[in-house]
């Protein structure tokens, strides 16, 4: 691979591959190569239908829906680009912003003051029923299909009491409830409701809307084939900063003939402020897991932190 571009997946780049990504994301399965082996490569064709495509990566996307002391749904969600995209949309819409802030206050009242969960449930339901929020979720999923995948994975029929019990076991909840800055509050609220409050009705509604958007996008702008492959780096323990990221990447790419490790580091340094922001955290943490997405020759950081539950026996 002679040319490497290491940077966050831009909106323009995402729009070039969102059709293929969206079609694939609905039926992704695990590669038999295992989490440390070479992931299977898959070329996605926009002529394929949603039901035809499987996106095979190097570990399964079926995440554990419960928290443990070793991992956190909130923590993993907060670090995903799809939440960043959705939170920007929510923060820039006055109605959505107010609804998210009200949910945050209701959550604090339940957790810190023992108030009834009914107000929180009603607030989440209003948000899920609000057409503007639904459209924001559809638009986000078209740019980053991980959102609809997370919504599908975490959708369940649990009652409010069960959901709150699961949520209270998430080790990152306390950090979220201490937030005072609007952007962080919105990101936290979205991570919580996607991870703990989604149901099949909400997922099915969004899925149908997304299918329609995909068909329309395919009709207007046919997209060429793109090769997509995931790499996973595990069994690492480095600091959550730029130097730690480089150290983690070195374990996989320093002696990899297909990837120029020094070039990757140069690209990180050129966009150092971005990675400092992404890797920084109000809750101290270390990087024990990395997920990398390659799209053709383009390299993207897609996840990091503690391993998802299915990689740590959770």
Give CA 142 to chain center in angstroms: 13
User: How confident is the model at residue 203, as a pLDDT?
Assistant: 95
pLDDT at 227 > cutoff 80: no
Q: Which residue has the higher pLDDT, 314 or 228?
A: 228
Contact partners, residue 119, CB within 8 Å, separation at least 6: 106, 109, 110
Q: What is the rounded CA–CA span in Å between residue 173 and residue 191?
A: 10
Q: Look up tokens 């107000």; give the residue.
A: 119
Q: Can you tell me whether residue 293 is helix, strand or coil?
A: strand
Q: Are 77 and 87 in contact (CB under 8 A)?
A: no
**Residue ranges covered by each domain of the chain:** 5-311
Centre a 10 Å sphere on the Cβ of residue 277 and count the other Cβ atoms it contains.
8
Q: What is the rounded CA–CA span in Å between residue 151 and residue 206?
A: 9
Burial class (CB in 10 A: 0-12, 13-18, 19+), 258: exposed
User: How confident is the model at residue 263, as a pLDDT?
Assistant: 87
Centre a 10 Å sphere on the Cβ of residue 286 and count the other Cβ atoms it contains.
14
Q: What is the rounded CA–CA span in Å between residue 222 and residue 47?
A: 9
pLDDT at 28 > cutoff 50: no
Mark out the alpha helices in the chain (DSSP H runs). 11-25, 73-78, 81-91, 94-113, 118-129, 131-143, 146-154, 160-168, 173-177, 182-196, 200-220, 242-253, 261-270, 272-279
Q: Which residue has the higher pLDDT, 314 or 141?
A: 141
For the chain, give the percent of residues with pLDDT over 90: 45
Q: What number is the average pLDDT over the span 183-197?
A: 96
Q: Kindly report, residue by residue over 244-290, the tens digit of the pLDDT.
A: 999 999 999 999 888 889 988 998 898 888 888 778 754 547 888 88
DSSP at 290: E
Tokens of 20: 């293929």
Average pLDDT value for the chain: 77
Centre a 10 Å sphere on the Cβ of residue 143 and count the other Cβ atoms it contains.
22
pTM, full prediction: 0.57
Which residue, 124, 106, 57, is CA-closest to 294? 57
């Amino acid at each position: 691979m002679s040319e490497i571009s290491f940077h966050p997946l831009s909106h323009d780049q995402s729009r070039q591959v969102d059709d293929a990504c969206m079609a694939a994301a609905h039926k992704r399965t695990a590669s038999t190569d295992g989490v440390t082996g070479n992931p299977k490569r898959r070329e996605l064709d926009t002529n394929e239908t949603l039901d035809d495509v499987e996106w095979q990566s190097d570990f399964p996307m079926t995440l554990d829906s419960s928290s443990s002391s070793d991992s956190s749904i909130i923590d993993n969600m907060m670090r995903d680009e799809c939440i960043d995209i959705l939170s920007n949309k929510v923060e820039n819409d006055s109605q959505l912003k107010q609804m998210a802030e009200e949910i945050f206050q209701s959550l604090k009242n339940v957790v810190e003051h023992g108030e009834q969960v009914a107000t929180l449930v009603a607030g989440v339901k209003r948000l899920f029923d609000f057409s503007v929020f639904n459209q924001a979720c559809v638009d986000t999923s078209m740019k980053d299909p991980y959102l609809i995948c997370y919504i599908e994975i975490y959708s369940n029929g649990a009652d409010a009491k069960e959901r709150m019990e699961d949520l209270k076991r998430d080790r990152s909840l306390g950090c979220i409830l201490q937030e005072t800055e609007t952007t962080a509050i919105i990101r936290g609220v979205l991570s919580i409701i996607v991870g703990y409050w989604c149901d099949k009705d909400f997922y099915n509604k969004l899925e149908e809307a997304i299918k329609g958007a995909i068909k329309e996008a395919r009709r207007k702008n046919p997209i060429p084939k793109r090769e997509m492959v995931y790499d996973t780096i595990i069994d690492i323990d480095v600091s959550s900063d730029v130097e730690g990221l480089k150290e983690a990447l070195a374990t996989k790419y320093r002696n990899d003939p297909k990837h120029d490790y020094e070039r990757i580091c140069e690209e990180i340094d050129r966009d150092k402020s971005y990675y400092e922001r992404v890797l920084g955290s109000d809750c101290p943490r270390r990087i024990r897991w990395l997920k990398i997405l390659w799209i053709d020759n383009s390299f993207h950081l897609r996840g990091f932190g503690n391993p998802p539950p299915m990689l740590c026996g959770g």
